[in-house]
Chain A
Amino acid sequence: MRSRGAGTRTQLTKLEELLRELRVEEVMTRRLVSVSGDFTMAQVKELLRKHRISGVPVLEGEALVGVVSIEDVTRALEQGEMGAKVRDRMSREVITVFADEPAVEAVKRFAHTKVGRLPVLDRGGKVVGILTPGDPVGRAFRVMDLRYREQEQQRWQQKGLGLEDLLGEGASLVLRFRVQGEDFAGAGKASVQAKRVLGRLGLDPGAVRRATIAAYEAEMNLIIHTRGGELTLEATPHSVVVEAVDKGPGIVDVEQALQPGFSTAPEWVCEMGFGAGMGLNNIQSCADEFEIESEVGRGTRVRAVVHLSQSGRKDRLNR
């Protein structure tokens, strides 16, 4: 029990520190929805529903003149006055916070005033964002989490542990992903995930970068050109082996497919920044060894090997 209490306390202190360090600007929502005094309450209701928010600042030109919230809308609704102008129904006593103040100031203001949102002003008085009560702490926790992950990775790298220290000579670590054809929304997730895992193992960052770029190009080819397949990354103490295998349609002329600029990608992927005919070339330039085999009607197998730099590892050991 005692140790748990202490742990919670350190976390709280860290949170407080972070809320002092982060500025309001860094925790606020920037995409600002606002209304003018001329809006009707009915229009406000629509806007709040559409953006799923509980209140908006009222601006006349650039100047903040009030806030109108879901409570004001409810009251107008009960009184049958949805046609009334915002100007006549808003609250004019607006509590605000400056963008360059520490986030902890916003937390205090929420605690002391019980308002549901704080418009954020720059020192010129212009509204630049908005805060809701959960924003500062939620954001701070996210930042804490990211920093923790970075530190953890640095600790691994400083220790200079290689995979053989973890797994023993001769063992390897295999990451296997099933990739859906035409799943453009999820595209690239496997490779990003693989990079995170290999990075955390403390492998040479340059080699991890090359291996996961190769994996990404292979993954995109599975998504764009096939009905799906399997992507694997195998990490050994000396290399990362990337392999993408699918069951068709296969490539008619592999020589031609390897020419920079050759592409059969459909129009819709070109609009999304793909289909330059550079993917296979990128894999080749990232890899120390490269193989491709394909048979029309049977499928394609692409294999790329990236050697881990031993010198990189020594550098870390010497530190």
Chain B
Amino acid sequence: MRLQDIKVQLEAEQVAGSPRPELEIKEACAADLMSDVLASARPGSLLLTGLTHPQAVRVAALASLAAVVFVQGKEPLRDTLVAAEESGLPLFVTQLSLFESCGRLYQAGLRG
């Protein structure tokens, strides 16, 4: 699924990072514990999380993830936006809950 399709599914908006609408995403991971992300997310995955501080972006960059979505309309902190701009990692915000977001993406064919 392309990043652009994920954006549409989640009614999300991109708030930082490189525009990469055509980027192909095959897997996603949902977690609020950083060690869980590092232990289980495979490179190229999408991260869905409720944590909006810069650690979420740094962890995603270290794990070579493709993009990050903040759920529940949570506003990223300023430092988080800066971290995303520095690494180029596309960062999105959706108003949907974590549960709803995962449900929609699973329905649309994305796997964990």
Contact = CB atoms under 8 A, between A and B. Distances in A.
Given A185-B54, A272-B51, A273-B32, A285 B39 contact: yes
Contacts of B14: 26, 30
Interface of B: 13-15, 18-19, 32-36, 38-39, 43, 49, 51, 53-56, 58-59, 61-64, 79, 85, 87-88
A146 interface: yes
Interface string A213-228: 1001100100000000
Contact of A192 (B13, B43, B62, B85): B62
Contacts of A209: 43, 62-64
- Say what secondary structure dominates the interface of chain A: helix
Contact of B63 (A187, A213, A281): A213
Contacts of B61: 192, 195
Contacts, number: 75
Interface string A129-152: 000000000000011001000000
Contacts of A282: 35, 38-39
A294 interface: no
Contacts of A273: 32-34, 49, 51, 55-56
Contacts of A274: 33-35, 55
State which size class the interface on A falls in.
Answer: 20 to 34
Contacts of B56: 273
A143 B18 contact: yes
Q: Return the 10 tightest CB-CB contacts between A and B, nearest first.
A: A278-B35, A188-B58, A26-B19, A146-B88, A276-B35, A273-B34, A276-B33, A273-B51, A30-B13, A213-B38
A279 interface: yes
